[in-house]
Amino acid sequence: MIDFKSQILTPVFSSIENRASNNAFFIDGTYYTYRQFAERVSAIRDVIRAAAQNEHIWGLSLHDDLNTYASIFALWMEGKAYVPLHPSWPEERIASIKEQVGCSNVLDACDAPYTGDLLDDWAEASEDDLAYILFTSGSTGVPKGVQLTRRNIAAFMDSFWKTGIDITPEDRCMQVFDLTFDVSVQSYLVALTRGACVYTVPYGQVKYLYAASLIQELHITFGAMAPSMLTYLRPYFEEFDASSMKACILTAEACPVDLMEAWYGCAKNTEIYDFYGPTEATIYCTYYKLTRGVENLSLNGIISIGKPLANVQAIIIREDGSLVEGQEKGELCVAGDQVTPGYWKNEEKNSSSFFVRDGVRYYHTGDLCYWHESGNIMYSGRIDQQAKIQGFRVELGEIEHHARTFYQNERRVIAIAFQNEKNLTEIALFVEAQQEDTKPLVEYLRSKMPHYMIPTRILFEPSFPLNKSEKVDRNELKKKLQ
Amino acid sequence: MNRNEIIEKLTPIARQIFADEVMVLNDDLSAANVANWTSLSFMQFLTEIENQFGFKFKMMEILKLQNMGAVINAIENHTNA
């Protein structure tokens, strides 16, 4: 049976029971055993049970520490859900999320004393109860919350193991992702459900450097990374020994084929996978396993996103909703138990993002794709104005919204995602005005958005070029970035 | 090059890459306390250092560059080698 208890809670507590003295985490230079993890889970369950207003959804202030990871499992054992709140986010963003969700309880590096084991007696919970809500960029300037249920997570976990990736208690699994980003959930669940050790990248570190030192010095055997991390490391590939890795997932961004061919040189014993998926379909929904020494399936230098996971159904549709034929491009839509029940209290977005076809509820991914004759899906870009920056999904409309607000709606602004000379995605912001000091604008944007959403280039144009429809010609503006 | 000469040459590079016109270099500056010290800007910083100081970092070196003090030390080692 595929449910949250059998896929997540039982395996993790089996790891605690059977491998108490094994390491569960390596965090900022310190190892913590499954026994220590269990004691923190027990102590935090006490805190949750004692809360005056015991709401279903709790805020979780994120730190790279054992208490933060233990809090997640304590909440799940109590049948509750968490919404991640990052201390580095602008206060206004955190307040907006807490207000939207209506959560007054926040676990923040909870170091309550351990008074005894509280590892059984799991609260009764429905598979439709929420497990977490992740807030992503919203084009109106207000972050939107993607709700993920216990059913969604269980279905994901089942799908994951059916890809053939196998993790054992001897494995050393890397967790490089910010806990606001859902690949982090895969990164810790895969290890903890198999009794392996999770090696985290502390906040305040340059991730690609820390991850590389974990791989090289602590001999990581499995990990998911964003391709941009490898792009940063590419000048040093000749000296980089990643031969300890038996499997490596590339995800969160389009995966360049030439980068993977170069990566094979360092990751000599590694099976490489390209995983794709929007948060709305729980972490990943398709995957492609690369084969060493042959030409892997790619489009415009980008590896295929492969075939749907076991619990995902995929279709590609035209604008009118009909199915594409042959290798015609269209929008990828996904269905199945991994798909979110919807955005938190956002009827407008829910009605535009989901649809029912032949009795099956699908999610519009916004990704332009086509079917390769082999049955793999080829990724061709975004339909809308979204970009992936360091793996984070960014609505360019949200950046424009805040910039327009800064200029009191008196100037036109256009945010454009572009590839720099290293093939990494950056954001440029064009402002229709004469050149001026950008510092006040940047400071304002920093007070509204996380760091990864702040444009790395701000350019002024006295007047924007227009296309034949009298709209601002984004393509012309983009040419100015070359 | 001595430490002061390195800091003098490194300061305009750091100010430009980390978008802080008044940045004063000290050993403790790092991703934890510089807003623009990101993966992307740090990679650009290393590339610019290599171009301006005329050497190439080794993999094992960059893994240790966790703050400005370590960066300055590494430049010192290369320029005095």
Global ipTM: 0.84
A76: CATH: 3.40.50.12780
Note whether A261 and A240 are within 8 A (CB). no
Q: Do A232 and B39 touch (CB under 8 A)?
A: yes
10 Å CB burial of residue A294 (0-12, 13-18, 19+) is exposed
**This model's pTM is above 0.80:** yes
Test B59 with A228 for CB contact under 8 angstroms.
no
pLDDT at B40: 81
With cut-offs at 50, 70 and 90, classify the pLDDT of residue A298: very high
Beta strands A313-317 and A330-335: pairing type?
antiparallel
pLDDT of A470 reads 66
Query: What is the phi/psi pair of residue A287, to 5°?
Result: -155, 155
Quick check: is A152 in a domain? yes
> What is the per-residue pLDDT across B36-50, written as a single tens digit (0 to 9) for each?
898 888 988 999 999
CB A337 within 8 A of CB A157: no
**Within a domain: A321:** no
A294/A403 same-domain check? no
Inside any domain, residue A332: no
Diameter of chain B measured on Cα atoms: 33
Q: Which residues of chain A are at the B interface, by a Cβ-Cβ cutoff of 8 Å?
A: 203-209, 212-213, 216-217, 228-229, 232, 236, 239-240, 390, 422, 424, 426, 442, 446, 451-452, 456
Report the pLDDT averaged over residues A152-170.
98
Distances (CA, A) of A297 to A7, A214, A266, A336: 32, 30, 21, 26
Q: Which residues pair with A415 in a beta bridge?
A: A429
What is residue A363's predicted lDDT score, i.e. its pLDDT?
98
Question: Can you list the domains of chain B with their CATH numbers?
Answer: 3-79 (1.10.1200.10)
Average pLDDT on B15-23 reads: 89
A370 occurs within a structural domain: no
A345 token code pair: 């209290």
Residue A4 pLDDT greater than 90, yes or no: yes
Task: Please identify which residue in the block is written with the tokens 């061709």.
Answer: A380
Task: Enumerate the residues of chain B whose CB falls inside 8 A of the CB of residue A215.
Answer: none
Q: Round to whole Å and give the CA distance between A379 and A370.
A: 7
Helix (H, G, I), strand (E, B) or coil at A459: strand
Residues ≥6 apart with Cβ < 8 Å to A342: A147, A350, A353, A354
What is the per-residue pLDDT for A291?
95
Please check whether residues A304 and A395 belong to one and the same domain.
no
- Which positions in chain B touch A456 (Cβ < 8 Å)? 40
- How far is B72 from B81, CA to CA, in rounded Å? 14
What pLDDT is recorded for position A463?
A: 86
Give the closest residue to A167 by CA, choosing from A12, A3, A9: A12
Last-in-domain residue among A308, A331, A353: A308
- Of A256, A282, A308, which one is at a domain's C-terminal end? A308
- Separation CA A332–CA A141 (nearest Å): 26
Cβ neighbours of residue A284 closer than 8 Å, sequence gap 6 or more? A156, A159, A160, A186, A251, A275, A276, A277, A309
In this structure, is residue A360 part of a structural domain?
no
A46 and A169, same domain (yes or no): yes
CB A172 within 8 A of CB A218: yes
Q: Does residue A159 register a pLDDT over 80?
A: yes
Closest-CA residue to A148 (of A133, A138, A137, A136): A133
Mean pLDDT of chain B: 92
Dihedral angle over CA of A338, A199, A215, B70, nearest 10:
130
Q: Looking at the predicted structure, is the pLDDT value of residue A309 above 80? A: yes
Weakest-pLDDT range from A5-14, A56-65, A289-298, A395-404: A395-404
On the question of pLDDT at A435 being above 70, the answer is yes
Task: Write A116-123 long-range contacts (CB < 8 A, 24+).
Answer: A116/A42, A117/A38, A117/A39, A117/A42, A118/A41, A118/A42, A118/A45, A118/A46, A119/A13, A119/A16, A119/A38, A119/A41, A119/A42, A122/A5, A122/A9, A122/A77, A122/A79, A123/A77, A123/A78, A123/A79, A123/A80
* A271 and A408 together in one domain: no
Dist CA A71 CA A297 (whole Å) = 41
* Buried b or exposed e, range A170-181, using 16+ CB within 10 angstroms: ebbbbbbbbbbb
- Domain for residue A209, yes or no? yes
Instruction: Check residue B32 and give its pLDDT.
Output: 87
pLDDT at B24 over 90: yes
What pLDDT is attached to residue A419? 86
Query: Which range, of A210-224, A353-367, A416-430, averages the lowest pLDDT?
Result: A416-430
Is residue A219 scored above 90 in pLDDT?
Answer: yes
CATH number of the CATH domain containing A414: 3.30.300.30
| Cβ <8 Å between B39 and A236 | no
Residue A88 lies in a domain: yes
pLDDT score of A110: 87
Does A45 share its domain with A160? Answer: yes
Q: How many domains does chain A have?
A: 2
**Residue A382 binned pLDDT confidence (cut-offs 50, 70, 90):** confident
Q: Which domain holds residue A106?
A: 4-308
What pLDDT is stored for residue A381 in this prediction?
83
Region A454-475: what's the mean pLDDT? 84
Same domain, A186 and A285: yes
Instruction: Please identify, among A273, A290, A308, the residue that sits at the C-terminal boundary of a domain.
Output: A308
Rounded to a whole number of angstroms, the distance between the first and last alpha carbons of chain B is 10
Q: Is A332 helix (H, G, I), strand (E, B) or coil?
A: strand
**Which position has the token pair 């392996």?**
A196
**Among A345, A348, A392, A404, CA closest to A180:** A392
Question: For residues A153 and A282, is the Cβ–Cβ distance under 8 A?
Answer: yes
Q: Does residue A351 belong to any structural domain of this protein?
A: no
* Secondary element (H or E) of residue A333: strand A330-335
Question: How far is residue A249's CA from residue A288's CA, in Å, rounded to a whole number?
Answer: 10
Mutate to test the interface with A, among B30, B47, B62, B67 (most CBs of A within 10 A): B62
User: What pLDDT was estimated at residue A215?
Assistant: 96
Nearest to B35 among A207, A209, A451 (CB): A451
pLDDT at residue A12 tops 70: yes
Residues of chain B whose beta carbon is less than 8 angstroms from a beta carbon of chain A are 19, 30-33, 35-40, 42-43, 57-60, 62-63, 65-66
Confidence at residue A469, expressed as pLDDT on a 0 to 100 scale? 64
When pLDDT is averaged across residues B5-34 and rounded to a whole number, the result is: 93
CB A188 within 8 A of CB A69: yes
